[in-house]
Structure 1
Amino acid sequence: MVDADEIARLCYGRFQQLPRRGKPEAGREWTLLAAVVQMSRRGDAVEKEVVAMGTGTKCIGDTSASPDGDVLNDSHAEVIARRGCVRYLIQELRRAVTGGHNSVFREAEERGRWSLRPGVSFVFFTSHTPCGDASIIPVPDGPSGLRPSVSDGGGGLKRKAEQQSTGGKPKAAREAPEDGAGTAPEDAARPRRPRPSHASRCEAPEEPAPRPSEQLEMEHRAPPGGAGPPLQAPDVHRTGAKCVPGGQVDPLQPGVGYHRTGLLRVKPGRGEPTRSLSCSDKLARWGVMGFQGALLSHYLQEALYFSAVVVGACPYSPDVMHRALVSRCSGVSDLPAGFSVRPPALLQSGLEFPFSQSQTERRHRAGQGRVSPCGAAISWCNVAERPLDVTASGYKHGATKKAVGTASARSLLCKLELFHSFLSLVSDTDPSALPKSLSPGAGELRTYWDYKRASGSYQRAWQQLLGHAFPLWPRGDRDLLLFC
């Protein structure tokens, strides 16, 4: 059984140990945290280790996407953590194929394939409900929408993440001093009721302010008989993630009629659309496709699934999380061998991230400037070489215009770098031990697109998921995947 508070405490502690570079300025900047925890059973004991961690709130716009795969498109914490985990898995597979010790894989029955060691599983942690459908949560009638937090007794407000659209030009994020980084605030505010609009960490939708009559309807409704204080009209926390083109749209009505639930959504940009699906949609996809991706599926007998998803203290609804991450994919069937609908256990911790927006607002002092999301994204993973990667606007933190197009400007998590790491794994594998899909007789494989398409079982599973659950999932632009 997974202890949600233990997982949260482990992840927050690992964040404290990271260098200060890329961390938010205490009291002025906030960010989101996500992590992957490896669980390894040893007899009656279970060892828990953070193997990948990410922070971040931004993603780039369409015009900034690169055909060379050298820009990090999506820097939301959940995506950063998952990509860091892929780096970790590539390292463990390399150790496996070269005869070294690894803590994750053992040889499977099929030639060139590997499976998880007995007792090994992975838990996903995120400090806030994922953007998109999982953040469209009813606002409770009580004084607080949060479970009590160890650090402040509860409370948490909306968060909106500015989305980056910089035309592909790198912009160094401010490297602020780590004043109290990783420590909980000493002065705790009373729990406050979450504000009903734009409560997710996505950028707030651009819309006209409600008319006075609508505002009154949203905030005050007279009780039956006209006696007693006014009652607050039912409402939901809102997400800035936009419905994907070609399908249903949000009604944008006051209160609970603002959003339509269960829809695919893309993360918003500042005046520019993005290609990035919401984190709710990506987590739902990983519950069917696994989180290993198409490339590593060449080596794996079975997809890798999270056994649990743990959310930190924030506005939360078990029913909404189940709808967003599980129910939408429950009807997927006829999946190829190695894939299945594998819903994770859904849990919430009572511990709030010290650099959440609500904690940052409480610690904010006059003269610090406005509270804003941190511009940097941090990736750390348990690998021997270059475990830390700090980025801003899709490029390595501090990269200059002159460095764009060179390795010095690339994030270790961009498609090109992960592809090169995978090719290194293939090169280190004895030709006689390669999986059939990568053997010399499998056909010419040269580009990133070629290797993804050659992962036949993964592609068949993807088609089943599209057909049964997500027919409107935007198709990727092939021209952006032809690098090598």
Structure 2
Amino acid sequence: MQPAILVHTVYKMAPPGYSAAAAEPQHALQGRLPGQGPQVRGVRAGSSKKLAKLAAARSALAALEEGGAGPRAEAAPSQAGLQQSLADHIAKLVNEKFNELMKHDAVHSKRKVLAGIVVTTEGRAEGARVLCVTTGTKCVSGEHMSVSGRALNDCHAEVAARRCLQRHLYAQLLQYAQAADPRAPLPDNDLEPAPGGGYRLKASRQLHLYVSTAPCGDGRIFSPHETATEPDRHPNRLARGQLRTKIESGEGTIPVKNCSNALQTWDGVMQGERLLTMSCSDKAARWAALGLQGALLARLLRPVYLSSLVLGSLLHPHHMYRYATPLYSVILLVVRVSNP
């Protein structure tokens, strides 16, 4: 999590400011973070406003953590503290696995969005396993669609992670299919036989989706320059809560203006109509209602839901709260909501 966000949420301090006061080197900007005493004052130089603010936040955060000074936020329950530590652990596991896989691949190590799914047992960080690590920010254009299914329409990181999870679930079901008794529980399997037929995710298993940024679509409709602690003054404006589609062969989303006329046909797309692909925010909401297993696996598997959605740095707490609360009850471990 960014140092400035930690200073805002945990210590309830004002955002870092900047000035053109003399600094080393000369003419550099100084980031100043007001505090209750010299031990919590961060003053650092930077060549830009952003770097000056970041350096000031880091300096003040180090002083606060070392000395325990400064006005803290209301004490959170111990469970919330464990959740935050679990979220940090999940993010660390996904990033470490990606760096391990890309250690000798400088070309593919460059990425804008990183996602991954981690499975835990009994909600503990010990023994957590990374099921998949994915990257991606693009969608296929209509002219490159494959009638045989050889081309993926949506290659965003979150969607690719869900596809990897489906493959893992198929492999888990295959273990039961090859067992002497398909209805006997397998200790090392993430699934178990369900009463009445079929299978389900074990009650002791939890799935966590990590995304390095807020999901594209309604969850990312904010400006990164807004103050993270400032509430949304216009939560009901028309731009909020709209279904959005991804831009073909590009990045970003646009609202679906006429949902009733959004029927797509293959020949229509081939003739130049825009291919409509749901935003990741809308897909995450659908997964929260229907599960991650998909239609085919639903014949054998009970709905599989996420236990948490862990977000990285690029997010706005109030916008994520507005987006997530009315749609599904996923716990936002990175965003500490004081008034749930």
The TM-score, its normalising length taken from structure 2, stands at 0.58
Residue 58 (structure 1) aligned with residue 143 (structure 2): no
Give 1:97 deviation, angstroms.
2.5
Which runs of 5 or more residues in structure 1 are unaligned? 146-161, 166-201, 204-239, 249-270, 330-341, 351-484
Residues 321 and 23 of structure 1, relative CA distance in 2, 3 Å threshold = farther
The structure richer in strand per residue is 2
Question: What residue number does 1:14 align with?
Answer: 97
Select the residue among 197, 200, 203 that pairs with 1:115.
200
Cα contact 1:123–1:307 (8 A) shared by 2: yes
Question: What residue number does 1:304 align with?
Answer: 304
Cα contact 1:24–1:30 (8 A) shared by 2: no
**2:169 counterpart letter in structure 1:** L
Give 1:127 deviation, angstroms.
0.4
Tell me: higher relative CO, structure 1 or 2? Use CA pairs within 8 A at least 6 residues apart.
1
Q: Which whole-Å deviations, capped at 9, do the CAs of 1:421-469 have from their partners, x for residues lacking one? A: xxxxxxxxxxxxxxxxxxxxxxxxxxxxxxxxxxxxxxxxxxxxxxxxx
Q: Which whole-Å deviations, capped at 9, do the CAs of 1:361-404 have from their partners, x for residues lacking one? A: xxxxxxxxxxxxxxxxxxxxxxxxxxxxxxxxxxxxxxxxxxxx
Give 3-state SS (helix, strand or coil) of 2:121's partner: strand
Residues 272 and 103 of structure 1, relative CA distance in 2, 3 Å threshold = same
Question: What residue number does 2:255 align with?
Answer: 243
Residues 57 and 24 of structure 1, relative CA distance in 2, 3 Å threshold = farther
Cα contact 1:35–1:50 (8 A) shared by 2: yes
Give 3-state SS (helix, strand or coil) of 1:306's partner: coil
Residues 73 and 56 of structure 1, relative CA distance in 2, 3 Å threshold = same
Residues 110 and 63 of structure 1, relative CA distance in 2, 3 Å threshold = same
**1:119 counterpart letter in structure 2:** S
Give 1:318 deviation, angstroms.
2.7
Give 1:30 deviation, angstroms.
3.6
Cα distance in 2, alignment partners of residues 346 and 89 from structure 1: 24
Cα distance in 1, alignment partners of residues 329 and 145 from structure 2: 32
Give 1:138 deviation, angstroms.
5.0
Cα contact 2:114–2:133 (8 A) shared by 1: yes
Cα distance in 2, alignment partners of residues 311 and 347 from structure 1: 8
Residue 289 (structure 1) aligned with residue 275 (structure 2): no
**1:32 counterpart letter in structure 2:** V
Cα contact 2:248–2:274 (8 A) shared by 1: no
Cα contact 2:207–2:305 (8 A) shared by 1: yes
Q: Which whole-Å deviations, capped at 9, do the CAs of 1:24-65 have from their partners, x for residues lacking one? A: 567xx54211001001139x7742111012101111112222
Give 3-state SS (helix, strand or coil) of 1:286's partner: helix
Cα distance in 2, alignment partners of residues 117 and 30 from structure 1: 33
Cα distance in 1, alignment partners of residues 333 and 107 from structure 2: 27
Give 1:317 deviation, angstroms.
2.3
Cα distance in 1, alignment partners of residues 104 and 165 from structure 2: 21
Cα distance in 2, alignment partners of residues 121 and 56 from structure 1: 24
Q: Which whole-Å deviations, capped at 9, do the CAs of 1:121-173 have from their partners, x for residues lacking one? A: 1001000111111011255555x89xxxxxxxxxxxxxxxx9664xxxxxxxx
Residues 23 and 50 of structure 1, relative CA distance in 2, 3 Å threshold = farther
Residues 128 and 298 of structure 1, relative CA distance in 2, 3 Å threshold = same
Give 1:321 deviation, angstroms.
1.7
**1:323 counterpart letter in structure 2:** R
Residue 136 (structure 1) aligned with residue 212 (structure 2): no
* Identical columns (%): 32
Cα distance in 2, alignment partners of residues 36 and 49 from structure 1: 9
How many residues are treated as equivalent by the alignment?
220
Cα distance in 2, alignment partners of residues 126 and 272 from structure 1: 31
Give 1:96 deviation, angstroms.
1.9
Cα contact 1:284–1:324 (8 A) shared by 2: no
Cα contact 1:57–1:163 (8 A) shared by 2: no
Give 1:276 deviation, angstroms.
1.5
Select the residue among 151, 162, 187 that pairs with 1:71.
151
Residues 17 and 139 of structure 1, relative CA distance in 2, 3 Å threshold = closer
Cα distance in 2, alignment partners of residues 107 and 25 from structure 1: 40
Cα contact 2:190–2:205 (8 A) shared by 1: yes
Give 3-state SS (helix, strand or coil) of 1:4's partner: helix
Give 1:320 deviation, angstroms.
1.8
The structure richer in helix per residue is 2
Give 1:66 deviation, angstroms.
1.8
Question: What residue number does 1:86 align with?
Answer: 166
Which runs of 5 or more residues in structure 2 are unaligned? 1-81, 181-185, 230-245, 261-271
Residues 117 and 319 of structure 1, relative CA distance in 2, 3 Å threshold = same
Cα contact 2:114–2:135 (8 A) shared by 1: yes
Q: Which whole-Å deviations, capped at 9, do the CAs of 1:283-306 have from their partners, x for residues lacking one? A: 111110111111111112x31110
Question: What residue number does 2:116 align with?
Answer: 35
Cα distance in 2, alignment partners of residues 303 and 275 from structure 1: 26
Cα distance in 2, alignment partners of residues 31 and 22 from structure 1: 16
Give 1:325 deviation, angstroms.
3.3
Give 3-state SS (helix, strand or coil) of 2:152's partner: coil
Cα distance in 2, alignment partners of residues 104 and 71 from structure 1: 30
The Cα RMSD (Å) is: 3.1
Residues 114 and 12 of structure 1, relative CA distance in 2, 3 Å threshold = same
Give 3-state SS (helix, strand or coil) of 1:88's partner: helix
Give 1:19 deviation, angstroms.
4.2
**1:344 counterpart letter in structure 2:** V
Pairs within 5 Å for 1:137-176: 137=222, 142=227, 165=249
Cα contact 2:310–2:332 (8 A) shared by 1: yes
